[in-house]
Structure 1
Amino acid sequence: MTTPGVASQARFSAQARLRALQADIMDLILDRELEAGDPLPTENELALALGVGRNTLRESLKVLQALGVVEIRHGFGMFVAPNNFDALADGLTFRGRLSLRHKGGEALELVDVRQALESGLIGSAMDTMTSGQLAAVEESVIRMEELAAAGETFVEADAEFHRRLFEPLNNTLLISLLAVFWKVYRQIHLEVGAGTEDLAETAAVHRRIYEAVADGDKALAAERLNRHFDGIRRRIHEAINE
């Protein structure tokens, strides 16, 4: 009969081996200079190259598929997955929503990270922002103001405003991360509800951010972005204390 301690150690060892195999598969992709969309070797070829059985290999490949590293197309083969942040968004959304049942720590940490990104990079975005891009930012503000006047929420217009603020940086990773944060925020927003949110005031906050950007005042734009996140934190705290 296997004792609990031995069984636990065996499980840990098996997990460690699987993680090592996953790392080996990723190293193989890098060593062979494969790009997103490129086909991977067949299961037989991978098993032979890595010195493992096919069942163990398949288990690791499923994990890598969930992580967005590998794409398995049944009937076609395996490929290096295209850029995809869905797994990250789903994981962060779950952790954020779960934290609302307690003190909301992880949900608030997500707000902190997003705030640091946006307030820290707004000056650089302003340096390269064209008049057309600035006009697009104001279009998003106008849309929020129109929806607020009609008593309608504007989560999508809000997300568009922030995306347009940072498009001048031409940083695909940043835009992808902002999209992740917005997917997470949308789910948390649905979880906690509207609360005491003043739609007109929220739209006005974005108008003031736009005005600071239009005036070329980097310090004020960063300060107003920082204030914007106070409302999000307040609603999370309200939800936790309800």
Structure 2
Amino acid sequence: MLRGIESDLLEYIIANGLQAGDRLPTLEELSAELRISIGKLREQLEVARVLGLVEVKPRTGIRVSPFSFLPAVRFSLLYALAQNRKLFDAFSELRNHIEFAFFHEAVALLTNEDTARLKLLIERAFAKLEEHPPRIPHEEHRELHLTIYRRLDNPFVKGLLEAYWDGYEAEGLSVFSDYDYLHEVWTYHAGIVNAIVAGNADEAYRLLVQHTRLLQKRPKARALHGRVNDDALTSEDKTIARPTIAA
């Protein structure tokens, strides 16, 4: 039995050396082989499914999933936030320290394809900000941060970083309308990407640290359905100077 985990189903997967994509026997077959009730197996299967350890589909049955830390962290984080929304600040602090600790390692692993993607995300974000009315580039924000760390061979780090954005969205932080704040955020992002492209990881790190402090002075949300409330923006706000992106 796995230490600390009372699951006949998971023990069966490990004992039989099953890998991602491998199919498990039916619950009836497992029940007979393991000599436990189908009801108990169903309970264990649901836990394994919620944790992302297996997938269950009508035609393909039960299969082992590739390991990801994200489902377990996301489930626990969203539960915690539902009980106490202030816990997001604690998780946000953890996420910041993780990004800082792994930044140089992550940047060193980026490919030309990755840096091209980062530059494209900057362009897309400013294009949204320049629309009338402006749109919040949240998808670009999430993808930019995760792209920087995508090459790390550490599922725990990547799971924690990705779960942060699920919590970010659950807290409604992806929907608000302060234009100056959005412009400042993306100016920092452009600086980080330019420094990465130039091979100056230390400068990119310095800008990352400064950028994370912006959340502390974030204005209250005023937007609906992911679109900036145009009435909250002045004509002066709508004219922005887009930073130059390194070639």
Identify if the C-alpha distance between structure 1 residues 155 and 31 changes in structure 2 by more than 3 Å, giving closer, same or farther: same
For residue 33 of structure 1, report the CA deviation from its aligned partner. 0.5
Tell me, yes or no, if structure 1 residue 115 matches structure 2 residue 96. yes
Deviation at 1:30, TM superposition (A): 1.0
Which shifted more, 41-50 or 26-35? 41-50
Give the aligned partner of residue 136 of structure 1. Answer: 117
Verify: 1:206 aligned to 2:189, yes or no: yes
Q: Which runs of 5+ in 1 are unaligned?
A: 1-18
Secondary structure in 1 aligned to 2:24? coil
Whether the 8 Å CA contact 1:148–1:203 is kept in 2: the answer is: no
Once the two structures are superposed, residues 73-123 of structure 1 have per-residue CA deviations (whole angstroms, 9 ceiling, x without a partner) of 3465322234464454244234235422xxx1x201221222122222221
**Residues 209, 224 of structure 1: 8 Å contact kept:** yes
Aligned pair 1:55/2:39, yes or no? yes
Q: % of aligned pairs identical?
A: 24
Which residue is 1:43 aligned to?
A: 27
Matches within 5 A, 1:1-242: 21-22=6-7, 24-74=8-58, 76-83=60-67, 85-86=70-71, 88-100=73-85, 104=86, 106-150=87-131, 151-167=134-150, 169=151, 171=153, 173=155, 174-175=157-158, 177-190=160-173, 193-194=175-176, 196=178, 198-235=181-218
- Give the partner amino acid of 1:171: D
Matched residue type, 2:118:
V
Distance 2:53 2:116 in 1: 38
Distance 1:128 1:69 in 2: 28
Which 10-residue stretch deviates more, 196-205 or 71-80? 71-80
- My pick for the range that moved more, 226-235 or 32-41, is 226-235
222-231 vs 26-35, which moves further: 222-231
Aligned residues: 213
RMSD of aligned alpha carbons: 3.0
1:175-233 CA-to-partner distances (Å, cap 9, x unmatched) read: 55443322322222358x42646211111111122233234333332232122222234
1:9 matched to which residue of 2?
none
CA drift of 1:68 comes to 1.9
Partners in 2 of 1:228 and 1:189 — Cα distance?
19
CA 1:94–1:42: 2 relative to 1, 3 Å: same
| Conservation of the 8 A alpha-carbon contact between 2:21 and 2:63 | yes
Q: Kindly tell me: are residues 134 and 35 of structure 1, through their superposed partners in 2, closer, same or farther at Cα, counting changes over 3 Å?
A: same
The AA in structure 2 aligned to 1:207 is A
Q: CA offset at residue 44 of structure 1?
A: 3.5
Q: Which runs of 4+ in 1 moved over 4 A?
A: 174-177
Cα drift, residue 43 of structure 1:
2.4
Whether the 8 Å contact between 1:65 and 1:71 is mirrored in structure 2 is yes
